[in-house]
Amino acid sequence: MTQDTSVDEIQSQALGALGAIDDIRKLDEWRVAYLGRSGRLTSVLRGLGALPPEARREVGQRANMVKSVLEKALEEKEEVLRQAELQRSIEGGKLDITLPGRRPNRGRLHPTTQVVREICDAFVAMGFQIVEGPEVEWDYYNFEALNIPKDHPARDMWDTIWIDPPSESEKPMLLRTHTSPMQIRVMEKTQPPVRVVVPGKVYRYEATDATHESQFYQVEGLAVDTNITFAELKGTLYEFARRIFGTERKVRFRCDYFPFVEPGVEMAIDCFACGGRGCRICSNSGWIEIMGAGMVHPEVLRHVNYDPEIYTGFAFGLGPERIAMLKYGIDDIRLFYSNDLRFLYQF
Ligand code: YSA
């Protein structure tokens, strides 16, 4: 038998075998047997080199023709079997071709990100620029330069997660406990007038409850210029509250202490849950604190070589999760980071 007749034989055997297949899952076995890397036709094509030149051309051409015939036959058979399978499942009632398709899931921004952006937009509209800074911070920026020297009791206001504890390192590092260190970084690099907001994540070694997380966001604000007074601070923050909450909500300013401001204030909004009567969420006070603020302390200005006789400024640091809670009536801050899609899909 010549190589040529053996190629014809392969074709007729292959087509016979293909005709006998009635299950789509068996087609791959057939493909491997005849057209696969060690299949019968591929072996003939591989052996062409050993044939004399005139036979090589003839057998080669024939084998390639057979290959196309088999490939086409495989394609047709696959289509026939697929149609048959579809027909069977329609008849068997397994496939409801009238069912609407499944909607692909669409991604969206996390509610905290949405609120952070909304807050920043409100300040950008009032002439502030947005800057960002490191979450791993030096003790110097987080405390020292903000008028909180080592061993000062004010450090206890921020339960700190240390990377290098102060006793072990000359230049201790920590996870920033607030966005206020960016006040120093910005003023070191710029000359007044300064108007910036700084969104970012902060970390505290703190037990969680309905209004406290150990990782949360803050948005810092800083304005320094000549002639900035407490009136500018109040005007800016009232305007912010009006833009975010509308004109109906009540705003309360109270004296507060932060070592890097003088005087210092705390700003609160009336509790969304009890309308100010007092409940679990607002610790029976009727108010939810959303930010600390104040006039930048002259000592902080001196730290960055601004002359406090010429320049004054105000600063604030607010909690976007608390603002989202007030805006949307969310009664537990832990919902933001529990990865519960039923919660997240509402925003
Ligand atoms: C004060 C004066 C300034 O001139 C500038 C900034 C500040 C704020 C200061 N750096 C600070 O961190 N103050 S704070 O500890 O009271 O936090 C500010 C805001 O962050 C709070 O009003 C609250 O909205 C939010 N916050 C605080 N602890 C939180 C929290 N949000 C969620 N979980 C916590 N554990």
Q: Is 304 helix (H, G, I), strand (E, B) or coil?
A: coil
Atom of ligand 1 nearest to the CA of 179: 10
Which residue CA neighbors atom 4 of ligand 1 most closely? 315
Mean pLDDT of 139-150: 95
158 counts as catalytic: yes
pLDDT of 289 higher than 60: yes
Q: Determine which residue's CA is closest to atom 34 belonging to ligand 1.
A: 212
- Ligand 1 centre and the CA of 318: distance in Å? 6
Residues 6+ apart with CB under 8 A from 41: 7, 10, 14, 34, 35, 63, 66, 67, 70
Confidence bin at 245 (pLDDT 50/70/90): confident
Q: Which of 119, 179, 203, 218 to mutate to test ligand 1, by most ligand atoms within 8 A of the CB atom? A: 218
Q: CA 222 to CA 224: how far, in whole Å?
A: 7
Tell whether the model's pLDDT for residue 166 goes beyond 80. no
Pairwise CA distance, residues 318 & 120, whole Å: 11
Is 204 a known active-site residue? yes
118: nearest Cα among 197, 179, 176: 197
- Which protein residue has the closest C-alpha to ligand 1 atom 25? 319
Which uninterrupted H or E stretch holds 219?
strand 215-225
pLDDT in tens, 108-124: 999 999 999 999 999 99
Average pLDDT for 156-183: 88
Q: Which amino acid type is present at position 93?
A: G
Q: Does the CB atom of residue 180 touch ligand 1 within 6 A? A: yes
Q: 321 C-alpha to center of ligand 1: Å?
A: 11
| Substitution site in 244, 260, 322 for ligand 1 pocket (most atoms within 8 Å of beta carbon) | 322
The verdict on the CB of residue 206 being under 6 Å from ligand 1 is: yes
% of the chain beyond a pLDDT of 90: 67
Catalytic hit among 178, 195, 297, 303: 178
Residue by residue, DSSP assigns 257-301 as: --TTEEEEEEEEEE-TTTTTS--TTTTTSSEEEEEEEEEEPHHHH
pLDDT tens for each residue of 206-219: 999 998 999 999 99
What the block records as the tokens of 98 is 């009238």
Overall average pLDDT of the 66-87 stretch: 92
| pLDDT (0 to 100) of residue 1 | 42
114: buried, middle or exposed (CB in 10 Å: 19+, 13-18, 0-12)?
A: middle
Active site residue 178: yes
State residue 285's pLDDT score.
92
Provide the mean pLDDT of the chain: 92
Ligand 1 atom at minimum distance from 264 CA:
2
Instruction: Write the CA distances from 294 to 100, 139, 310, integer angstroms.
Output: 58, 22, 18
Residue labelled with tokens 């960055």: 304
Q: What is the pLDDT of residue 144?
A: 95
- Around Cβ 28, how many Cβ atoms within 10 Å? 12
Atom in ligand 1 nearest the alpha carbon of residue 158: 15
pLDDT at 106: 83
Residue 94 has pLDDT above 80, yes or no: no
| Per-residue CA distances from 337 to 21, 113, 148, 172, 266 (Å) | 55, 12, 31, 29, 26
From 80, 78, 59, select the one nearest 11 (Cα to Cα). Answer: 59
Structure-token pair, residue 239? 């305007």
In the predicted structure, residue 62 carries a pLDDT above the cut 70: yes
Q: Is the CB of 178 under 6 A from ligand 1?
A: yes
- Which band of pLDDT confidence, cut at 50, 70 and 90, is reported for residue 3? low
- Per-residue pLDDT at 2 exceeds 60: no
Arithmetic mean of pLDDT, 40-48: 87
Catalytic pick among 3, 11, 183, 218: 218
Residue range 148-165, pLDDT digits in tens:
998 888 888 888 999 977
